[in-house]
Chains A and B, each alone.
Chain A
Amino acid sequence: DAEITQSPRHKITETGRQVTLACHQTWNHNNMFWYRQDLGHGLRLIHYSYGVQDTNKGEVSDGYSVSRSNTEDLPLTLESAASSQTSVYFCASSGRRRNEQFFGPGTRLTVL
Chain B
Amino acid sequence: DQQVKQNSPSLSVQEGRISILNCDYTNSMFDYFLWYKKYPAEGPTFLISISSIKDKNEDGRFTVFLNKSAKHLSLHIVPSQPGDSAVYFCAAKFNAGKSTFGDGTTLTVKP
Contacts and interface: CB of A to CB of B under 8 A. Distances in A.
Interface of A: 30-31, 33, 35, 40-45, 48, 50, 58, 90, 92, 94, 96, 99-106
Interface string B31-69: 010101000011111100100000000000000000000
Contacts, number: 53
A61 B110 CA distance: 39
A51 to B, nearest CB: 10
Interface residues of B, number: 23
B15 interface: no
Given A33-B98, A45-B98, A48-B97, A99 B49 contact: yes
Contacts of B42: 105-106
A58 B96 CA distance: 13
A43 B102 CA distance: 7
Interface string B1-43: 0000010010000000000000000000000101010000111
B72 interface: no
B49 A100 contact: yes
Given A42-B89, A99-B49, A106-B42, 5 more contacts: A42-B101, A43-B89, A43-B101, A45-B98, A100-B46
A104 B98 contact: no
B85 interface: no
B44 A43 contact: yes
B90 to A, nearest CB: 9
Nearest to B48: A100
10 contacts: A31-B98, A35-B101, A42-B6, A42-B102, A43-B44, A99-B34, A100-B34, A100-B46, A101-B99, A106-B43
